[in-house]
């Protein structure tokens, strides 16, 4: 009987080599599994550390969406620019025409924008009270002139009587003087007595005094006549002046310009039938060849502007040279008004309130390092810019110290050298990276 039979006979299962228990093998497997698991964990941890230590890939930037400029060395003209300027009338080119009296607008002959000359009637006013005052003034002048002539005739008559009396005294004086001289000669010859001579001489002396008094009275009378006539002439002059005033006011009822120019619109235009008071502006005329540019300059940029600095004004139909003549001391909405007098002829179509651009030259700097002005960056500050690599495939952030600025350029003090290329566009999207790739 074989072993299988024996086993079966004995009621026991057969025993083979594979069924023998080996606890050492199980322990080896468990250790191997633990080792591989630990190695895997360590590998994952190491990989995580490596990944964490890796810098993020530089972002790509489309080259067509940015603009760059190259750092240069040479002269730099500092400028400020205004794109919110207008042409405005110069102070000596505006004529405001006021109503001379309280009147009513009865007719408007031309409208704003029309050309006028000193002979152009702009509108007609009516003042019935002025017509009555004008008539009264004419009558008062005629009355004053008549009084003058009457007084003159009266004074001439009185003067004539004085002259007649003086002539009579003078005749008697002359006759008595001759008689006294004759009696003296006769007395010297002994023909007449001394008594007769003394009588003749006394009479001559008395007439001498009368003749002198008569001449003095005549002189006083003539002077009085001059004074009285001058007083009466003053009344005539007063009446004439009043008449001239009323006539001037009457002429002003036809509103005319005294200069050649363009009729401008009033802030408050008058209408037919409207009653206007004396002094109210009823028309405004502007000389079109006497315009200036009024530029609105940011307060921060206007601090370096000085009277006399050169400027250029672009009317979009030509560029005109000019110079600064006034800087408004007040600030309105963050800007100051700078007046520029135009040194060249105006182009066709130049009218008041025409929008213009203006550029003012502040300073001419020699031999400075400069670059185009970045989109975000003020003068006298430190900027963060991207400098393009020599191969042009990427750009690295650099710190750049800048100085004085112009409209389109800014002075470079530190951080860049001549020939470097920097990105001037707004790069705020990439503030969190120090390097970019250019695609």
- pLDDT tens-digit series, residues 164-175: 766 666 666 676
Which residues 6+ apart lie within 8 Å of 376 measured at CB? 383, 426, 428
pLDDT of 300 strictly over 80: yes
Instruction: Give the chain's mean pLDDT.
Output: 83
CB 298 within 8 A of CB 335: yes
**CATH architecture observed for domain 129-251:** Orthogonal Bundle (1.10)
Which DSSP symbol is given to 224?
A: H
The pLDDT-based confidence of 240 (bands split at 50, 70, 90) is very high
State residue 43's pLDDT score. 72
The pLDDT-based confidence of 12 (bands split at 50, 70, 90) is very low
The CATH class of the 91-127+253-286 domain is: mainly beta
pLDDT in tens, 409-423: 999 999 999 999 999
pLDDT of 234 strictly over 70: yes
**Helix (H) / strand (E) containing 12:** none
The pLDDT-based confidence of 132 (bands split at 50, 70, 90) is very high
Q: Among 6-20, 243-257, 419-433, which is the least confidently predicted range? A: 6-20
Distance between CA atoms of 47 and 366, rounded to whole angstroms? 58
pLDDT of 15 strictly over 60: no
State residue 59's pLDDT score. 86
- Spell out the domain ranges in the chain: 63-88+290-438, 91-127+253-286, 129-251
Percent of the chain residues past pLDDT 70, beyond the cut: 77
Look up residue 279 and give its two tokens: 């002094």
The pLDDT-based confidence of 155 (bands split at 50, 70, 90) is confident
Q: Which CATH homologous superfamily contains domain 63-88+290-438?
A: Efflux pump adaptor protein, beta barrel domain (2.40.30.170)
State residue 173's pLDDT score. 62
State residue 154's pLDDT score. 83
State residue 291's pLDDT score. 93
How much is the average pLDDT of 354-372? 93
Which DSSP symbol is given to 258?
A: S
pTM: 0.59
More confident: 366 or 190: 366
CB 342 within 8 A of CB 324: no
Distance between CA atoms of 19 and 388, rounded to whole angstroms? 77
CB 70 within 8 A of CB 421: yes
**Helix (H) / strand (E) containing 332:** none
pLDDT of 117 strictly over 80: yes
Backbone φ and ψ of 396, nearest 5°: -120, 140
């Amino acid at each position: 009987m074989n072993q299988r039979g024996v086993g079966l006979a004995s009621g026991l299962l057969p025993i083979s080599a594979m069924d023998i228990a080996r606890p050492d093998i199980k322990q080896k497997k468990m250790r191997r599994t633990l080792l591989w698991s630990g190695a895997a964990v360590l590998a994952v941890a190491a990989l995580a550390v490596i990944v964490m230590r890796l810098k993020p890939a530089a972002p790509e930037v489309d080259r067509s969406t940015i603009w760059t400029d190259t750092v240069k060395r040479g002269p730099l003209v500092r400028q400020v620019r205004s794109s919110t300027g207008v042409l405005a009338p110069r102070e000596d080119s505006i004529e405001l025409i006021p109503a001379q009296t309280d009147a009513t607008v009865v007719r408007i002959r031309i409208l704003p924008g029309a050309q006028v000359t000193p002979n152009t009637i702009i509108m007609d006013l009516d003042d019935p009270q002025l017509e009555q005052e004008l008539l009264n003034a004419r009558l008062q002048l005629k009355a004053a002139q008549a009084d003058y002539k009457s007084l003159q005739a009266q004074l001439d008559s009185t003067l004539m009587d004085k002259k007649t009396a003086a002539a009579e005294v003078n005749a008697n004086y002359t006759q008595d003087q001759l008689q006294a001289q004759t009696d003296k000669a006769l007395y010297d010859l002994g023909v007449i007595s001394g008594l007769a001579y003394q009588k003749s001489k006394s009479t001559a002396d008395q007439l001498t005094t009368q003749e002198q008094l008569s001449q003095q009275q005549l002189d006083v009378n003539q002077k009085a006549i001059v004074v009285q006539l001058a007083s009466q002439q003053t009344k005539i002059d007063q009446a004439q002046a009043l008449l001239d005033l009323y006539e001037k006011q009457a002429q002003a009822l036809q509103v005319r310009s005294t200069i050649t120019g363009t009729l401008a619109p009033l802030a408050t235009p008058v209408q037919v039938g409207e009653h206007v008071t004396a002094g109210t502006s009823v028309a405004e005329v502007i000389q079109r060849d006497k315009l200036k540019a009024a530029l609105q300059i940011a307060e921060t940029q206007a601090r370096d502007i000085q009277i006399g600095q050169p400027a250029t004004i672009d009317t979009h139909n030509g560029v005109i040279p000019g110079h600064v003549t006034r800087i408004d001391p007040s600030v309105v909405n963050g800007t100051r008004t700078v007046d520029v007098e135009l040194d060249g002829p105006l182009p066709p179509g130049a009218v008041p309130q025409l929008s213009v651009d203006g550029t003012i030259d502040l300073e001419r700097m020699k031999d400075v390092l400069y670059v185009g002005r970045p989109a975000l960056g003020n003068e006298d500050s430190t900027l963060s810019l991207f400098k393009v690599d020599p191969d042009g495939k990427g750009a690295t952030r650099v710190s750049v110290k800048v100085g004085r600025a112009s409209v389109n350029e800014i002075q470079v003090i530190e951080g860049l050298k001549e020939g470097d290329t920097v990105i001037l566009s707004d790069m705020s999207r990439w503030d969190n990276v120090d390097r970019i790739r250019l695609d």
